[in-house]
Chain A
Amino acid sequence: MSTTLSTPRAAKPNEDADALIERFGSTRKSRFTRHVILCAIGLVMMYPLLWLVSSSLKPNGLIFSDLSLWPAEWHPSNYADGWTALEYDFGIYFSNSIVIVVLSIVGNLFSCSLAAYGFARLNFTGRKLFFALMLGTMMLPGHVLLIPQYILFAKLGWLNTYYPLLVPNFLATNAFYIFLMVQFMRSLPQELDDAARIDGCGPFRTFWSIILPLCRPAFATTAIFTFISVWNEFFGPLLYLTDPELYTVPLALRQFIDSEGQSQWGQMFAMSVLSLAPIIGFFIAGQKYLVKGIATTGLK
């Protein structure tokens, strides 16, 4: 009795928890009130995004005078004009961003899964120490490393290339993803590894043929998180990329304020919508993995 009471967080989430809470917690009226409150908050939160989409379809003159979300006058050419409004067309910026994102995902999956398997499944001298070090880097604010890293990359001749943005991802520098995968791998039964070893598999074979295929959910979470953070990333590209031909989408978007004298709002909003669309798409496709990933990191 006392053990079950004293470890509430280990208890299994109750299947009919909701029904039970309903029974003593809320009446029909209070449920209705809750829906009203939640819808109101949701509407306020979504409104700026809806306004963005609507404004991207309005002629410049109407954006700030016509407040209705439904454009009184449609102006879809904002998209075509915005696409070519800057020095290079947005096709270049989008393909730059896509190249960086795809390679970052590959790098994180490759290097973090190797490290995670080492931490989760193999025994070697100093493992605990290295694991603690890895967790420590998760808390370390990146700006402390910024200046020496910049100097180092400059000395390597990597300024104005994608190397400073990509190479760290191939070197397992995202401790968060390692941690996520370690947690996942630890939940897999150890008997799998033992059976593989008895059948004559070495650690690499076990990793490749047994563990990797089972880790797909953790990889999906890592890939989606990497996608969103790299796609949004502004600071790294701002620091390392000076040639506009290499610009990513966020750097390009910022040029709208620099170059257009702040008047081509419709075009700027149209390109903003396009830059957010992939994130929203990935969010809808991978919501399950995102919610799970973020929830497990908080609970462990």
Chain B
Amino acid sequence: MTDSAQPKPPPARTGETAAASLIYLDYAAAAPLCEPARQAVVDAAHHVWGNPSSVHGRGQLARGALDRARRQVATALGVRPGELVLTSGATEANALAWRGVLAPLLAAAPAAALFGAVEHPSVRAVAQALAAQGLGAEAIAVDRQGVIDLAQLELQLRNRRVALVSLQWVNQELGSVQPVAEAAQLVHAHGGLLHCDATQGWGKLPLDVLAMAVDLLSVSGAKIGAPSGTGALWIKPGVRLQAVQPGHQEQGLRGGTENLLGLIGFGAAAAAIGDRLALAPEVRALRDRLWAILQDSGPVHRHAALPEAQESGHILSVAWPGMEAPRLVMAMDLAGVAASAGSACASGTQQPSPVLQAIGDSSAEWLTLRRATVRFSVGPGLTTQDIELAGERIRSTIERLRGRMRSPD
């Protein structure tokens, strides 16, 4: 999978470089648009428009397309269409789960909620915002692999009455799988609800929402080949939420005219989730091949090297001690490899990745690794040749930078 990354032909000529054929290894940030989604969006752009809430034929056409998309997403998740709230992505779905459950409780009495220490920043952000309104929000500790400690969760559930627990399915920086079903059992035994952010696991591991026994589940379109700005929150029947943005759409839980074209693409990508899942072993093999190549790049550390059943297979988080990750990411981009330092939502600043902070300690050794950590993530569309070429480009970038560290000119 290569990407010319040129939004339009530039007026000025730029030099030929490897960057002209950027190899995209940042699927965990956003996967390239999959063919069914592209096709559906392009087709719909020709004839689907109007407000799905309108009574007339034009509105009905829009409504029909939206209903179809909703059904496609529901089918892919193994749930009913009426249980879904279509959103602008997993961040909004996460915020709706938290605010929707907790705001009415907080209005009446103090309440508490827990979240895994390596949850996506959007969960931590809404937890923090609600903490300012009196919510008792606490993190559940994780081990070096980023996996929560169930014994600690149980202790936390015993200590106080907890209304909601958020636990992701797969970690966005490490690929570690969380014990969601086990956690759900514990949480239910203590009378709470479990919300699962399934963004990074969907399409990589087989999903059975009902077996997971969760109460709320967030997914994102951007990670499965749908247009960015699409996602959904599944709400188990009987779980009551308050709207964050009131309006009559989405069963009164999400006001605002729907993102019609985006959601049509989301539906198409969801309908193809089986194909994506079928490619998961191949994707895992590509990831393993990349790691095999990078092991030849001098001293390199791999985070969360877990057994196959305990990780998603699409993420490779590695550190080259002594390097600076933001600089590495730029140098690799110029060499023709797209990667990221931490998750895209945590980069753009020099703030340390909260995930790496949570799984580590304050030793100098760990700080060195943390600063030097780069995340590669792969997916369908990449070939073995892409990976070999990317591996070569990464290795030579590391070698060049090592040479500069030894003798800065």
- Are A and B co-members of a single complex? no
